[in-house]
């Protein structure tokens, strides 16, 4: 008889615990790295590695088993199409736990649970990071001519309004009102 086989209960009933494992494993597959408590990371690591092993098998039965656990077709597709091929030559140990210190609110020990493949994790992190807004600068054809550079930069900074040759009477009235106000 094997005693104490149940694993960590995490203060949840069995349905809540199963949903937690499913959600954490799905997030790990989707994002490549998740931040959670050390206890949850240690509890979900075997389930996440089992899902990657199913993805490596790649057959229909494995896909159905992964869908039954993860409950998301998008995550299962990403598992079988992108994540599992990265680990096709690796016989196990697809994830790692990196401790990052205590959480500020309740001092719970926090950790990253991440896939071992650094390139995949970096690609997922880059995909989530928004691109900084790039301010387009005016193109200058001849950089050696200093006057051309200064002229184009002045135009770009402050547009110069030129008076129209055919001014409407409304424009003349507004300008005369401004002159009288001075």
Assigned domain for 26 exists? yes
Place of tokens 């005369």: 176
Assigned domain for 157 exists? no
Predicted local confidence at residue 118, as pLDDT? 73
> Which DSSP state fits 140?
-
Predicted local confidence at residue 124, as pLDDT? 75
Query: The domain that contains 114 carries what CATH number?
Result: 3.90.1030.10
Assigned domain for 177 exists? no
Tell me how many degrees the CA angle 16-113-79 measures, rounded to the nearest 5: 80
Place 180 in a pLDDT band, splitting at 50, 70 and 90. Answer: low
Assigned domain for 73 exists? yes
Residue range 7-13: mean pLDDT, rounded? 91
Predicted local confidence at residue 164, as pLDDT? 60
Assigned domain for 182 exists? no
Per-residue pLDDT tens digits for 53-95: 999 999 999 999 999 999 999 999 999 999 999 998 888 999 9
Question: C-alpha 12: how far from its chain's center?
Answer: 29
Residue range 146-174: mean pLDDT, rounded? 55
Predicted local confidence at residue 2, as pLDDT? 84
Quick one: tokens of 140? Answer: 């200058």
**Which range marks the domain in which residue 56 is found?**
14-128
Assigned domain for 106 exists? yes
Predicted local confidence at residue 12, as pLDDT? 95
| Length of the chain, in residues | 182
Place 156 in a pLDDT band, splitting at 50, 70 and 90. Answer: low
Choice between 181 and 53, residue whose per-residue pLDDT is larger: 53
Calpha distance 28→81 (Å, rounded): 15
Burial class of residue 67 (count of CB atoms within 10 Å of its CB; 0-12, 13-18, 19+) = middle
Whether 175 shows a pLDDT value over 60: the answer reads no
Predicted local confidence at residue 84, as pLDDT? 93
Tally the domains of the chain. 1
Assigned domain for 176 exists? no
Per-residue pLDDT tens digits for 97-150: 999 999 999 999 999 999 998 777 777 778 878 877 777 766 666 555 555 445
Per-residue pLDDT tens digits for 14-62: 999 999 999 999 999 999 999 999 999 999 999 999 999 999 999 999 9
* Contacts of 27 by beta carbon, 8 Å cutoff, 6+ apart: 34
Tell me how many degrees the CA angle 93-88-113 measures, rounded to the nearest 5: 35
Predicted local confidence at residue 122, as pLDDT? 74
Beta strands in 103-177 (DSSP E): 109-115
Assigned domain for 22 exists? yes
């Amino acid at each position: 008889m094997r005693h104490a086989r149940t694993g960590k209960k995490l203060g949840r009933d069995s349905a809540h615990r199963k949903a937690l494992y499913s959600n954490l494993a799905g997030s790990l597959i989707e994002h490549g790295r998740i931040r959670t408590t050390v206890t949850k990371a240690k509890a979900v690591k075997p389930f996440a590695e089992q899902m990657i092993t199913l993805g490596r098998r790649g057959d229909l039965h494995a896909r159905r088993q992964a869908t039954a656990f993860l409950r998301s077709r998008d995550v299962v597709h990403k598992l079988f199409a992108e994540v599992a091929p990265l680990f096709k030559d690796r016989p196990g140990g697809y994830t790692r736990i990196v401790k990052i210190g205590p959480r500020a609110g309740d001092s719970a020990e926090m950790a990253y649970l991440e896939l071992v493949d650094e390139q995949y994790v970096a690609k997922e992190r880059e995909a989530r990071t928004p691109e900084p807004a790039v301010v387009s600068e005016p193109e200058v054809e001849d950089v050696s001519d200093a006057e051309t550079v200064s002229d184009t930069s002045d135009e770009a900074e402050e547009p110069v309004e030129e008076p129209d040759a055919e001014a409407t009477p409304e424009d003349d009235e507004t300008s005369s009102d401004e002159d009288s106000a001075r």
